[in-house]
Amino acid sequence: NMKLYWLVTWAGTLFLNPVTADCNITSQTVTCEESGKNLSNIPTNLFQNMTKLSLKDNKITLKDHDKGILGSFINLTELYLNENNITVLYNHSFYNLKKLITLDISNNCISTVHKAAFAGLHQLSVLNLSYNMIAQLDSDAFTSLERLTVLNLEYNFLKYFHIKSSFKLIKIVLAGNPWICSCDLLDLQMWLTASHVTLENGSNTTCTFPNMEKISIKMAVIQPADCKIEKTPLENTVTSIPAVNARSIALITALTPNNTTGNNGTCAELPLLGKSWTFLAGVLVFVLSTTLLIFTAIKCPAWYHYLISYHHRRLEGNDSEMFEQEFSADTSSSPSEEPVVIFEKIHACGDEEDVFIEDKYIDTYVNEEC
């Protein structure tokens, strides 16, 4: 009777809400497989009563539109969003999934996790955030996850993780992060020892700084007496990639070649550029402009020859008087007949009232042709 009831229920749902998704219906579960379909948003043509949804290997960003669609799948127990283009987990991203037990958001481009990103997931037991770009993480983001038993944070950019003693887990995965074994890591080290939690792949969960020695974070020597108990509270949101220095990023890149590219290379490259690029750009502009000027001077020499050879200027009143004196002095030193002839020839070609000042550089043969 129960099987018949479930079949009638699913048949009625299918009739009222026809779907084109690839869903598998059994007596107790509805599994929809939407992986590798190049989807940019979560489809709306899915069973509202489905219990398992796989959206692996798509281009979903989990913005407000997707959050609203997810909120309608109130019976979900498993959700797989790995290998997508999610960069930020906003507050209340999964607010209505009260029955969700498994959440996989690995292999994305997540760099920011808001404090209330997992609010409402009271039944969540397994959370996978591995292979992302998380540099800092507030442990308060997990306080509402009362039944969380497995947390996977491997291959992110975590250097330290402030964790509370009330945080209860059975297994945690922290390998592949650039851990700095200093006072900032003391509370995590003490929690790992006191809680008896299983640190999976502990031999590879090592200190990257300060001595570059392959020492497990559980075995690293950190003196509590040398550390201050004070802790600076983190912001509501987590700072992302710019908080990580270039050395840490280089180490993580060496450990995980595919980590910085996320979903098959779809994540943007890390912003490693500093202020030196502006100096380089200035040098390139200077070199190009200088080369262009030299090239122009070689190929087009006429313009600068004209500028260099040009020394003429207009004659002023004083200059004209000096010219007349010089002219009269020159003519007085010549034979008496020649100045008269030249003077007559000059005035014969011009008007009676000549408003121009004669230039002594003008050859006399020009006037003769007049």
Q: Is cis: bond before 210, omega within 30 of 0? A: yes
CA atoms within 13 A on the CB side of 71: 13
End-to-end CA gap in the chain: 129
77, 102 in Cβ contact below 8 A? Answer: yes
Which amino acid appears at position 65 of this protein? Answer: H
Rounded to 5 degrees, φ, ψ at 5 are -65, -45
Residues forming a β-bridge with 224: none
Across the chain, what does the average pLDDT equal? 75
Residue 31: helix, strand or coil by DSSP? strand
Higher pLDDT among residues 209 and 310, named by residue: 209
- Please, which residues have CB within 8 angstroms of residue 149's CB and are 6 or more apart in sequence? 125, 126, 169, 170, 171
Query: Which of the residue ranges 68-77, 100-109, 226-235, 292-301 would you say has the lowest mean pLDDT?
Result: 226-235
Q: What does the pLDDT average to over 215-233? A: 71
Round to whole Å and give the CA distance between 54 and 301.
71
Round to whole Å and give the CA distance between 41 and 62.
8
CB atoms inside a 10 Å sphere around CB 173: 20
Q: What does the pLDDT average to over 66-81? A: 93
Q: Tens digits of per-residue pLDDT, 168-203?
A: 899 999 999 999 988 888 889 888 988 889 999 988
Q: Is cis: bond before 224, omega within 30 of 0? A: no
pLDDT at 17: 45
pLDDT at 193: 87
pLDDT at 240: 42
126-128 and 150-152 as β-strands: parallel, antiparallel, unpaired?
A: parallel
Domain spans of the chain, in order of start: 20-157, 159-225
- Tell me the CATH architecture of domain 20-157: Alpha-Beta Horseshoe (3.80)
Place of tokens 């987590």: 238
Residue 7: helix, strand or coil by DSSP? helix
Name the pTM for this structure: 0.61
pLDDT at 11: 54
Higher pLDDT among residues 266 and 194, named by residue: 194
171, 198 in Cβ contact below 8 A? Answer: yes
Q: Given a cut of 60, is residue 269 above it in pLDDT? A: no
Q: What is the DSSP letter of 27?
A: S
Q: Tens digits of per-residue pLDDT, 282-332?
A: 888 988 888 888 877 777 766 556 656 655 555 555 555 665 665 555 555
151-165, 219-233, 300-314 — which one is most confidently predicted on average? Answer: 151-165
